[in-house]
Structure 1
Amino acid sequence: MARSPLTLAASVTSALPRTGVVGVGVLTEGASGRYDSAVADLDDGRRVVVRVPADDDAAADLAAEVRALRALTPGVRSLLPFHAPELLGEAGIGDDRAVVVDFLPGYRVDAAHLPAGRGAATSLGAALAAVHALPHSVVKTEGLPARTPAQVRTDVARIVDRATATRRLPKALQDRWRLAVDADELWRFESAVVLDGVGTGAFVFEDLDGVPTVTGLLDWHGLSVGDPATDLQWLASAPEAAADVFAAYLAESGRAPDARVRERARLYAELEFAKWLIHGHDEARDDIVADAVELLESLAAGVTGDALVSDDALDVDDAIALLERMPGSSTADSSGAVDTSMQTDAYDPDELARWVADEEARGDTGAVPGASADPTDTQELSADDLAELASSLPHDAPAAPRAADDLSTAPITLPGGSLSRPDDGGDAAADAERASEAALRRWLTD
């Protein structure tokens, strides 16, 4: 029987000694029946959420959630662009445990209603990239699950085997999924910190400057090391926003390229139907099995002729097209200015400018008197060579005083006004674009 909000409020006072509850209400947002939940207002002005599991599976997830929230130290939380619930306390309530966390305000957006463009979609992509960028030590220090790509692949094969053993899995899907399991290129990925299948319902949004932005992530029970594609499987339910979410994810991700992440995400989404079939079979629930079979047959009909593992992975043009979808992105500054900052502290702008001026005065040949024409020649210079070299340097201009900040890394304007080659028509912006594209091409092929 479901516990009343007053009963749950009493567990709050047990979990948080010397704290009074001045108001309590039913927590209905996102309720799934797996927990008895309530929101309570405390006498110190805080608002908290209390949850008690309704069954054994929910109890296991709530225990995992507690471990995950303990792993989110202040240092880890500072790496995230949104809030995570703070674990405030626990208390016994009968044979179960009540868990109290702080309340995160905001609203949720269902995947099917997620709009394309800047806002909720791009914020979700950036939020997922931030989670996947967390160090593995966050998970391993707390003893949370960690799986390698090989283990992930084995788990997928086991699901396919179990679904096949029910004798209710359509043959077309069985063949489709076995081909995916056997495709070595699909499983070449770098494990990351993941939430193991988080959906859009776990994120809360607030409008910041009129733009829907992720401000909190509620569900952490799946915190582990595994395949980042598991957290992208919900994209199959967001056809309008999927491309923008993925583009934002790519733009914010600092991880190694993963050309097959979307294909694995789609595979995981399809396997959810197989898990539903397995659940119904294991529980001897004919109604669940019938529902699962209907879903699987519909899926089989829908994917006919659509290969799960494509011949071509994400290529350079696809990646550039996705990144260009990001609102405000451009391949070159509209003014045509080129940032010449070297992004290092190991040079002085004044000295570099004088060096370029000296090079241009020599006809821009770069030749040094007495130097060998062979760039591999590393022979020592004699005293006569050094004297000749010193006499060749200009002495007609006094040295410019060094800037007060010798570590300046601000962009500088080099003499001559252009960094373009003589044969490129002076289009420095085009040079920058070609260089960026070449770098991205090397990045994807490494």
Structure 2
Amino acid sequence: MARSPFTLAAAVTAALPGAEVVGARPLTADGDGRFDSAVVTLADGRELAIRVGDDDETSRELAAEALALRALTAGARAMLPFRAPEYVGETRLADGRALVTELLPGFQIEAAHVPRGRGAASSVGASIAAVHSLPASVVRGAGLTARSAEEVRAEIRRLVDRAAATGRVPARLTVRWREAVEDDDLWRFESAVTLGGAKATSFVFEDDPERGPEVVGVVDWHALSIGDPAVDLAWLSSAPDAAGDVHASYAESSDRAPDAALAVRARMLAELEFARWLVHGEVLRRTDIVDDAAALLEALADGLRENDLSVIAARGEGVDSALDALDRVPETAAAGIDTSMHTDAYNPSDLLPEEIADAPAGDATEDLSDVAAAWGEDSGPSTGSGTESSESSFAEPVEAAKTEPSDDSDPADEAQRAARAALHRWTNSSSE
């Protein structure tokens, strides 16, 4: 692959006849290489994103994204308090499928560094609730996937059984997950329209002078479906600072019946990403992936306290430190919770401070010794992602978010200032 932005810019004119292209630049830097991508500037000032997939998997993702964006009619978009990218067109580039969409400008932030408090966290919760409030006809009318609570439960049961059959899942995790699957109280939920697996970088922010950072756009719609609302909250296991405020804002903004088990199912789905990675490696007959997944599962099991053998007893506690490294699981391993496109559309490494962005990326099968050592602690969630040094400036916004307010200051204002500080560690995606 590795087509130049100018080659991709030429393809835009095929997807959008009559378009006058005046500029092009890379859309991602140091991405995972699954898509060729670029930002194209038109004579009228619009900026478009073009992505090209050359294999069956990436082509399917682009086709699904196109279908989902077209399913978001003007009426559906009017119900959302943020923007979704507009579908522009599709074309072929050699043997690859190319999708052209509107580029949404704004900030992004990785999960471990989403700050608590008013602003970013509350806006994310309200945005997820808005997606879940969309009418089911948006999905059904486009022929997209729809699952009932029982179908979701059956799918999880199959995943747990398949992972256990490899013989590489610690027994206490198998027990934990199977007890959760059989707990009827966890599965009494109303299916909703979901993104099919939101991530922190699915949300695009701008800084409002009065209200602080707010979600102004959501990307990564290719898994749009009807299913378990918890799937869009599973990423919060990697956002220990913000999780409580996101959940609270979601509950306050939702017009749906309260779901007492929502956070527990979200935690379980996060844990099961390691199981998906294991099954993925087994299917591919990749011993390196299987061994890596097994090590992750062992570390996860070690992070459970003795009285946290079941999800029912734990009710979501006791495994935060292990889940800090959830982002180590490559997104291509997910089946049904696949969220890979957002890292190509809006690669977080593009938005990091230069000294961080230039650092070499970690490999999916890198040495686990440092991470496993951190997981072994039972003192609570880590503030890092498991891949950055604690001395890195990248962690400073999180530390700022944890600063205790002075006696004469408003805690809400302190949290909002911390949110701004965190978000402004990233540059505007449309300004490069």
Q: Fold conserved (TM > 0.5)?
A: yes
Secondary structure at 2:139 match in 1: helix
Say if 1:302 and 1:71 are closer, same or farther in 2 by CA, change over 3 A. same
Secondary structure at 1:212 match in 2: strand
Q: Deviations over 1:121-164 (max 9, x none)?
A: 00000000000010101100000000000000000011011101
Instruction: Report deviation, 1:32.
Output: 3.1
Distance in structure 1 (CA, Å) of the matches to 2:146 and 2:310:
26
Match for residue 216 of structure 2?
A: 215
Tell me if 1:184 matches 2:181.
no
Does structure 2 conserve the Cα–Cα contact (< 8 Å) formed by 1:229 and 1:261? yes
Match for residue 105 of structure 2?
A: 105
Say if 1:30 and 1:71 are closer, same or farther in 2 by CA, change over 3 A. farther
Distance in structure 1 (CA, Å) of the matches to 2:161 and 2:315:
27
Match for residue 234 of structure 1?
A: 235
Amino acid at match of 1:73: T
Instruction: Report deviation, 1:309.
Output: 3.1
Instruction: Report deviation, 1:307.
Output: 4.8
Matches within 5 A, 1:10-409: 10-28=10-28, 31-209=31-209, 211-304=212-305, 305-310=307-312
Does structure 2 conserve the Cα–Cα contact (< 8 Å) formed by 1:8 and 1:37? yes
Amino acid at match of 1:239: P
Does structure 1 conserve the Cα–Cα contact (< 8 Å) formed by 2:129 and 2:254? yes
Does structure 1 conserve the Cα–Cα contact (< 8 Å) formed by 2:231 and 2:266? yes
Instruction: Report deviation, 1:74.
Output: 0.6
Instruction: Report deviation, 1:26.
Output: 0.4
Secondary structure at 1:259 match in 2: coil
Does structure 2 conserve the Cα–Cα contact (< 8 Å) formed by 1:136 and 1:192? yes
Secondary structure at 2:169 match in 1: coil
Q: Deviations over 1:33-71 (max 9, x none)?
A: 221100010112211100011432221111111110011
Distance in structure 2 (CA, Å) of the matches to 1:117 and 1:30:
32
Secondary structure at 2:129 match in 1: helix
Note the residue ranges of structure 2 that are not aligned, 5 or more in a row: 317-410, 414-432
Match for residue 422 of structure 1?
A: none
Distance in structure 2 (CA, Å) of the matches to 1:116 and 1:54:
40
Instruction: Report deviation, 1:120.
Output: 0.7
Does structure 2 conserve the Cα–Cα contact (< 8 Å) formed by 1:24 and 1:40? yes
Amino acid at match of 1:233: A
- How much is the aligned-residue C-alpha RMSD, in angstroms? 1.8
Instruction: Report deviation, 1:209.
Output: 1.3
Q: Deviations over 1:84-121 (max 9, x none)?
A: 00001111111222111111001111110011100110
Secondary structure at 1:207 match in 2: strand
So what's the TM-score if we normalise by structure 2? 0.71
Distance in structure 2 (CA, Å) of the matches to 1:29 and 1:234:
23
Match for residue 402 of structure 2?
A: none
Note the residue ranges of structure 1 that are not aligned, 5 or more in a row: 315-325, 329-446
Distance in structure 1 (CA, Å) of the matches to 2:130 and 2:45:
31
Regions of 4+ moved over 6 Å:
none
Distance in structure 2 (CA, Å) of the matches to 1:30 and 1:254:
40
Distance in structure 2 (CA, Å) of the matches to 1:313 and 1:112:
21
Larger radius of gyration: 1
Secondary structure at 2:308 match in 1: coil
Amino acid at match of 1:223: L
Instruction: Report deviation, 1:312.
Output: 9.6
So what's the TM-score if we normalise by structure 1? 0.69
Instruction: Report deviation, 1:308.
Output: 4.4
Distance in structure 2 (CA, Å) of the matches to 1:46 and 1:39:
10
Does structure 2 conserve the Cα–Cα contact (< 8 Å) formed by 1:263 and 1:308? no
Secondary structure at 2:52 match in 1: strand
Matches within 5 A, 1:430-441: none
Does structure 1 conserve the Cα–Cα contact (< 8 Å) formed by 2:172 and 2:309? no
Distance in structure 1 (CA, Å) of the matches to 2:18 and 2:136:
37
Does structure 2 conserve the Cα–Cα contact (< 8 Å) formed by 1:120 and 1:213? yes
174-183 vs 52-61, which moves further: 52-61
Q: Deviations over 1:215-252 (max 9, x none)?
A: 11110011100000010101110111111111100110
Does structure 2 conserve the Cα–Cα contact (< 8 Å) formed by 1:207 and 1:213? yes
Say if 1:117 and 1:251 are closer, same or farther in 2 by CA, change over 3 A. same
Secondary structure at 1:206 match in 2: strand
Does structure 1 conserve the Cα–Cα contact (< 8 Å) formed by 2:15 and 2:90? yes
